[in-house]
Structure 1
Amino acid sequence: MKKLLFFCFLLSSFWIYSQKKTLQAHPINESISIDGKLDETAWQNASIATDFIMFQPDNGKQIPENKRTEVKVLYNNDAIYIGATMFDDEPRKVLKEISQRDNFGTADIFGVFINGFNDGQQNFEFFVSAADVQGDCIMTDVNGEDYSWDAVWMSKAILTEQGWNVEIKIPYAALRFSGENKQTWGINFFREIKRDRQKYTWSLIDTKLGTFTQQNGDLQGIENIKPPTRLFFMPYASFYLNAAEGQKTYGTMKGGMDIKYGINDAFTLDAILIPDFGQAKYDDQILNLGPFEQQFNENRAFFTEGTDLFSKGNMFYSRRIGGTPSVEPALIDNEEIIETVQNVNLINALKVSGRTKNGLGIGILNAITEKTFATIKDTITGETRREIIEPLTNYNVLVLDQRFRKNSSVTLINTNVTRNFHYRDANVTGLAWDLNTKANTYSLFGNAKYSYIHDTENKTGVFTTVGFAETSGNYRYSVGTDFVSKNFDPNDLGINFYTNYYNFYGNANYRILNPTKLFNSFKIDYDMYTEFNKESGKLQDNKISAELNLSTVKNNYYGAGFTVFPLETHDYYEPRATDRYVIIPRKIDLWGSISTNYNHKFAIDINPSISFADEPGRMAYGVDVGPRYRFSDKLLLTYTFSFFKRNNNKGYIDSYDDDDNESTPKTIVFANRNVFTYSNTLSGKYALNSAMTLNLAVRQYWSYAENKEALELASDGTLNPYPEYTTNKNSSFYSWNADLSYSWWFAPGSQLSVLYRNSASNFERIIDKDFKNTVTGLLNNDALKHIFSISVKYFIDYNGVKNKFGKRA
């Protein structure tokens, strides 16, 4: 009898978890008030989606009855409506921190995932927190969740005696679906109970399968709806007041418009006319002692929203558009630059993106930057002249991404930069593939890229990579190899630092898929990497690393790891000269990480690290400490202190030719130096309500490199004392940035932003080690700039305007 009962239990479990869930959507004629009360008659008669199943941490476990979730779906000719009731046996414990859009903080969450084509390729996800804060994103298995995508929809969350409710209205213009009379959409519902750190979904998402979007349920019953005209206008107006010590205060007005147009069911055109990025987040600049440029995050909304297609193949670095000028002005004796720009102005930009029901994704991006000059002065005669530092430039990206079998893709990417007249042009073409077995257990991935540079000397180069991985189960692994030619150069519209090498790498890892008595999550990673210079065959990199990451049942996170570099390697980049290298000694890096449960009012992050090199006195150590305190559901402050010191660091400082004989090697000078870095960051948020927030972001940074001894780089890569070199090449860079902003979403898709910003930075060769002097001196000198700005953007939906005028007629 017991065996029979056990068999019945296994059979029922298999039936529950293997059958695709379905929900019936109900058509309505009555109006629905989005107030979270769910008191209209239509809600009472709608079908119910319930029996949620845990996604994390205990994948596959049924939700408790006292926390059951019930969801209903209605629709009419304009929108789809979702009503959700989240029961809770302790409703007073529902967490409800008020935060900014797309950032839920410490709050319970409800979400709905919709795939209008039901093809398992892409979800449109909409979230509402218990504090009535919205979030939305586009989800693909390859790129994960892209929260830069923003739609315009309505929602309301309210707390009740039984838990909390959510009511959502999603206009069809925010979705993508076909024009068929009868439709079946892919759908899933999500709930996170924050105090327990538990996530549930209506349709089981089996974590062993390695896919997310293919495990939706079905939404049936949608009939006779038509995709609307997707045409949106977002006009804006901005005012800027600029002030700096010793400079004239001036104000400027800007105005422009963003346009979004749905070309058809699948494709959307986005365009910006007279762009304004004045309120974008500032860049966190550092003292860059290395051979490569600092890479910055993209903070401009147009280049972050819905750009998952353009990230294919890792060939597009959007900061190139409107970045620093590409041409250095030619100066003769007694000339100096008296006026230049840090960034080239963007004239306009547009992108077309989308995916057909057959899985073909198409992305087209075009941007034009203006012709830019520097003003140069003759210091003797006083005459000035202008020289082009960036010609009129056109940037293009084309992506064709064909998905098949719901989990695999082949992608063609092309980036092109064309500069007016006889300046440098660039073209890069790549083919990328990600092939997965039907059960998502194994993956074959890679790409091949070809670059062509048209300049005073034409150059071509290639980059190829191929890898294989097991992608499901407790034990997983991957292996791969790269080959990069010397002249591969995608840097006009991409970013790539290393060339002229080939490598081999591998990874093996183990993870638990369900919690144990001690851990909610547990993962061990082991990596090996070896890299050789393609021409000389010398070892450029060689490392073995392992790391452990876990979270306890009390939701505290711990991590630790090490990386061993067991052999000397040859760095061909730090000398800044062709075919020269410096030998890097063996070393070992150790790190740790602690992050306590953010559900508590007080939490802290601590990240120490230390490194030992096989060279007397050469080591590095540092720590990041980040306490945070949530004073209430409205007020949160986070502070981070970072310190890092490198003792006896060896780095490039200068080079020169010994004489006019080209056969004579260039003299390359390094320094034995100590490098100190300090930074303090403070961020704060005060939410007046779910639509209004005050935000504070302050960053103070100081880093200096003090040279103790000059060293000459020998032809064999060793470093020898060079007492003849006496030039001061110490470096000290310090900066200050502070933003205080107010944001008000006064209507769906419409926002008022008020920003006060002050910032300053300075680079010196003289090092003042008094921390107070560096900070106060920076804040009190002429370099401190003040900007006050107000920006208003208003969302206009063509359908809403058409309906209003239609009713009046």
Structure 2
Amino acid sequence: MPLLAAVLLAQSPSSAALTHAGGHPVPTITAVRVEHPPTLDGRLDDPAWQLAHPARGFLETDPDEGKSPSESTTVMILYDDAAIYVGARLYDAEPSKISRRLGRRDDDTQSDVFYVDFDSYHDHRTAFEFAVNPAGVKLDDLCSNDFFIGDRSWDPVWDVATAIDSLGWVVEMRIPFSQLRFPQVRDQVWGVNFFRWVFRKNQFSQWAFKRKTETGYASRFGHLLGLHDIPAPRRLEVLPYTLGRGTYDNPGAGNPFDHGHSYFGGAGLDLKYGLTSNLTLDAAVNPDFGQVESDPAFVNLTTVEQFLQERRPFFVEGASIFTFGGTGPYIQFGNTPQYFYTRRVGRAPSLEPEAPTDGFMDLPTHTTILGAAKLTGKTPSGWSVGVLDAVTAREQASFAAGGSVWHEDVEPLTNYVVARVRREVGGHTGYGFLATAVDRRDNSTPLDSLRSGGYVGAADFYHRWANNEYAIYASVGATYVTGDTLALRLAQEQSTRYYQRPDAAYLRQRYDPRRTSLSGLGADLSVNKEGGNANWGFALSTTSPGFEVNDLGFQRRTDRAAGDLFVGYRWTKPGRMFRQASIGFDPLAFAWNYGGERIQLGRDVNVFGQLLNYWSGNFFVYQQQQGVDDRLTRGGPAALAPAQWSAGATITSDTRQPVNGTLNAQYFH
């Protein structure tokens, strides 16, 4: 390997080739390989750091946008064959006041924080974020779609050391290349940005500066140059496991399935293999998710199932590639379907039989995942790819009554497949396709109530123009489900569509108890002005009555055509009283079902303001006109939904103070 070399920093504010769409110069930092990497001890006294040329020039986003922060920051980057190293000196005139609270990984600890974000794909859409507070609490985030809010359930393996001294505090990070995804080319160019949060001053600064009124995230990063001849990471991880589990409780009187104790043993294998530097294959055989945080307890009295967050590592990593559609930052329709919902795989059995009279039942809590494989990453031609295939086992419930014991199927052997491809062009345009398939092997009469197959095909598109100030988003999807007449009758009568409604002639014409298939269409379209102080957005969304994605997706209802108009204005520079403020107005939010019945027509106003002393307040008013509720009677005739309105206010004190609070009040009529 070459001798130790210094990190070189080159900034070209006058170069037209190195400017963002909005005209800002793109800062660049150049790193070279080191023979002897630094030791992570929070001291920055290794020879490598002493030779480095630090990057400076941070600018504030808050509280005074565009000004130099009161506390300066310098950052250095080194790398070797295995990892990239980030060192940061965060100066502070009052080190004793640095906030350094302990907390769990990925928690917002109300502390000072240093962030580094890498767009290693350099697609101007994706950011791998690594952050730490002075107490050493890690935060990592996988951001996609050029948006700053990402997936914190992504937990890569990396090391960090921090220390507070008389000058402020210090960060040293080691991030293995195996945890990042990048093209396999000799000369790498990555996007990069650094951020700093000084908690006690509410001071947020960044190296590659972006104004609050500008859109985008990764597309606004600076450039990291000088990465040459990075060998393909040896990303082979094999994790076999054996498991033993025992439970003990008081035995149920007369219950042959409850002896007061139960024992379980199992074995399995998790594998991760880097096919290339930016394509990863994950596989799991009989995976064990016993170490995953449990779902919160809830009582659901509605006809709509509870949406649950995914926490299983196999499904979390690389999940951003499977995201689909969207209508931009201002308008989100509550009933828009999610085409891929990973919690369908390994869910509780679909059938929930009743225990026999004067008898007992033993029902599995979940379906066993026999095996799963997932390919995620990016091809050299620029296509983002995600493919997942999983097989779950046949599950049976056991029954006992009158001295007899028998078993019934509650879930068939099932195969789940999802494939997603997406391509970005020029950083301003993207398009993609999604397909899902669910196939059930039904060999039991009780399982006739389950659909034998569910299939989805969809496409999405976005385009931004005028320095990313304006954007259009569009998506369209088609679904097809098939099965026994019993399964399709239940599908027609379930709460997402209620074909049996006696007062809905347009649905009764579709209702056919002899059906063996059902199909539908869905689409979304929105046009937004996202940049600048003045913003607006207009969106339309529709799903036909026969649309069905719940075999491998998530949807609450179909049979709706909706629209929304939003206009707003934001003040980002401090004035005589307010530090920042915004007002948003939805003058028209509407929805009709396919029978022409108005199920929503409302409007609302939302006002936010933050005072110079960091106290803030929010006020809203919402008004809904009279319409119909075609879900209230759960398959019966539509009910009248009277006009209503509500108002609310929230006041929040200065969150920098040791004691702070929020006061909230709402009124409904």
Where on the TM-score scale, by shorter chain, does this alignment land: which range? Answer: 0.7 to 0.9
Partner of 2:552: 493
Measured at CA, do residues 334 and 161 of structure 1 come closer, stay the same or move farther in structure 2, by a change above 3 Å?
closer
Partner of 2:374: 351
In 1, Cα distance between the equivalents of 2:94 and 2:521? 60
* 1:413–1:430 Cα contact (<8 Å) kept: yes
Partner of 2:526: 467
With 450-459 and 198-207 compared, the bigger mean Cα shift is at: 198-207
Partner of 2:10: none
Partner of 2:634: 576
* 2:118–2:193 Cα contact (<8 Å) kept: yes
Measured at CA, do residues 37 and 295 of structure 1 come closer, stay the same or move farther in structure 2, by a change above 3 Å?
same
Cα deviation for residue 156 of structure 1 reads: 0.5
- Answer yes or no: is 1:282 the counterpart of 2:294: yes
Tell me, what secondary structure is at the counterpart of 1:364?
strand
Measured at CA, do residues 254 and 206 of structure 1 come closer, stay the same or move farther in structure 2, by a change above 3 Å?
farther
Which of 347, 362, 368 is 2:391 aligned to?
368
- Answer yes or no: is 1:263 the counterpart of 2:275: yes
Largest Rg, 1 or 2: 1
Partner of 1:741: none
* 2:345–2:369 Cα contact (<8 Å) kept: yes
Partner of 1:389: 410
Partner of 1:327: 351
* 2:33–2:79 Cα contact (<8 Å) kept: yes
Cα deviation for residue 470 of structure 1 reads: 0.7
Measured at CA, do residues 552 and 245 of structure 1 come closer, stay the same or move farther in structure 2, by a change above 3 Å?
farther
Partner of 1:480: 539
- Answer yes or no: is 1:222 the counterpart of 2:227: yes
Measured at CA, do residues 512 and 256 of structure 1 come closer, stay the same or move farther in structure 2, by a change above 3 Å?
farther
Cα deviation for residue 357 of structure 1 reads: 5.1
- Answer yes or no: is 1:426 the counterpart of 2:450: no
In 1, Cα distance between the equivalents of 2:604 and 2:563? 14
Measured at CA, do residues 604 and 184 of structure 1 come closer, stay the same or move farther in structure 2, by a change above 3 Å?
same
Cα deviation for residue 556 of structure 1 reads: 3.6
Measured at CA, do residues 510 and 340 of structure 1 come closer, stay the same or move farther in structure 2, by a change above 3 Å?
same
Cα deviation for residue 339 of structure 1 reads: 2.2
Cα deviation for residue 303 of structure 1 reads: 2.5
* 2:286–2:368 Cα contact (<8 Å) kept: no
The answer to which structure has the higher strand fraction is 1
Which runs of structure 2 are paired with 1:181-580 in the superposition (5 Å)? Answer: 181-236=186-241, 240-246=245-251, 248-250=260-262, 252-313=264-325, 314-327=338-351, 329=353, 338-356=361-379, 358-377=381-400, 381-421=402-442, 424=451, 425-437=453-465, 439-456=467-484, 457-527=516-586, 528-535=588-595, 537-566=596-625, 568-577=626-635, 580=637
Cα deviation for residue 267 of structure 1 reads: 1.3
Cα deviation for residue 167 of structure 1 reads: 1.0
Cα deviation for residue 246 of structure 1 reads: 3.9
In 2, Cα distance between the equivalents of 1:581 and 1:72? 65
Q: State the AA in 2 paired with 1:321.
A: V
**Over aligned residues, Cα RMSD in angstroms?**
2.6
Partner of 2:179: 174
CA distances 1:509-530 after superposition (whole Å, capped 9, x unpaired): 1112333343343222212211
Cα deviation for residue 358 of structure 1 reads: 4.4
Cα deviation for residue 82 of structure 1 reads: 1.3
* 1:121–1:407 Cα contact (<8 Å) kept: no
With 448-457 and 584-593 compared, the bigger mean Cα shift is at: 584-593
Q: State the AA in 2 paired with 1:100.
A: R
Tell me, what secondary structure is at the counterpart of 2:423?
strand
Cα deviation for residue 237 of structure 1 reads: 5.4
Which of 52, 57, 65 is 2:58 aligned to?
52
How many pairs were matched up?
594
* 2:88–2:170 Cα contact (<8 Å) kept: yes
Measured at CA, do residues 289 and 177 of structure 1 come closer, stay the same or move farther in structure 2, by a change above 3 Å?
closer
In 2, Cα distance between the equivalents of 1:503 and 1:419? 34
CA distances 1:252-308 after superposition (whole Å, capped 9, x unpaired): 455544322111122112223322223433333444332322222223233233311
Partner of 1:164: 169
Cα deviation for residue 166 of structure 1 reads: 0.8
Tell me, what secondary structure is at the counterpart of 1:96?
coil
Q: State the AA in 1 paired with 2:363.
A: T
With 269-278 and 81-90 compared, the bigger mean Cα shift is at: 269-278
TM-score (norm 1): 0.69
Tell me, what secondary structure is at the counterpart of 1:269?
strand
CA distances 1:101-139 after superposition (whole Å, capped 9, x unpaired): 222402211121122343312122111211112222222
* 1:116–1:175 Cα contact (<8 Å) kept: yes
Cα deviation for residue 385 of structure 1 reads: 2.6
Gaps of 5+ in 2: 1-12, 253-259, 326-337, 444-449, 485-515
Tell me, what secondary structure is at the counterpart of 2:315?
helix
Partner of 1:615: none
In 1, Cα distance between the equivalents of 2:361 and 2:591? 45
In 2, Cα distance between the equivalents of 1:330 and 1:164? 62
In 2, Cα distance between the equivalents of 1:514 and 1:183? 38
Cα deviation for residue 142 of structure 1 reads: 4.8
CA distances 1:346-399 after superposition (whole Å, capped 9, x unpaired): 22322211123543111111222110112345x5x5433322111011111111
In 1, Cα distance between the equivalents of 2:528 and 2:579? 25
TM-score (norm 2): 0.83
* 2:246–2:262 Cα contact (<8 Å) kept: yes
With 284-293 and 123-132 compared, the bigger mean Cα shift is at: 284-293
In 2, Cα distance between the equivalents of 1:154 and 1:330? 52
CA distances 1:559-600 after superposition (whole Å, capped 9, x unpaired): 22121112x21111121216x211111111223333434433
Which runs of structure 2 are paired with 1:85-164 in the superposition (5 Å)? Answer: 85-142=89-146, 144-164=149-169
In 1, Cα distance between the equivalents of 2:219 and 2:121? 12
Tell me, what secondary structure is at the counterpart of 2:140?
strand
Tell me, what secondary structure is at the counterpart of 1:209?
coil
In 2, Cα distance between the equivalents of 1:132 and 1:505? 44
Cα deviation for residue 11 of structure 1 reads: 10
In 1, Cα distance between the equivalents of 2:111 and 2:354? 57
In 2, Cα distance between the equivalents of 1:37 and 1:430? 52
Measured at CA, do residues 292 and 54 of structure 1 come closer, stay the same or move farther in structure 2, by a change above 3 Å?
same
- Answer yes or no: is 1:18 the counterpart of 2:77: no
* 2:184–2:276 Cα contact (<8 Å) kept: no
- Answer yes or no: is 1:35 the counterpart of 2:45: no
Measured at CA, do residues 286 and 149 of structure 1 come closer, stay the same or move farther in structure 2, by a change above 3 Å?
closer
Gaps of 5+ in 1: 1-9, 613-809
In 2, Cα distance between the equivalents of 1:502 and 1:520? 40
* 1:112–1:125 Cα contact (<8 Å) kept: yes
Cα deviation for residue 329 of structure 1 reads: 4.9
Q: State the AA in 1 paired with 2:195.
A: F
Cα deviation for residue 213 of structure 1 reads: 0.3
* 1:97–1:104 Cα contact (<8 Å) kept: no
In 2, Cα distance between the equivalents of 1:134 and 1:434? 33
In 1, Cα distance between the equivalents of 2:570 and 2:359? 60
* 2:37–2:79 Cα contact (<8 Å) kept: no
* 2:146–2:219 Cα contact (<8 Å) kept: no
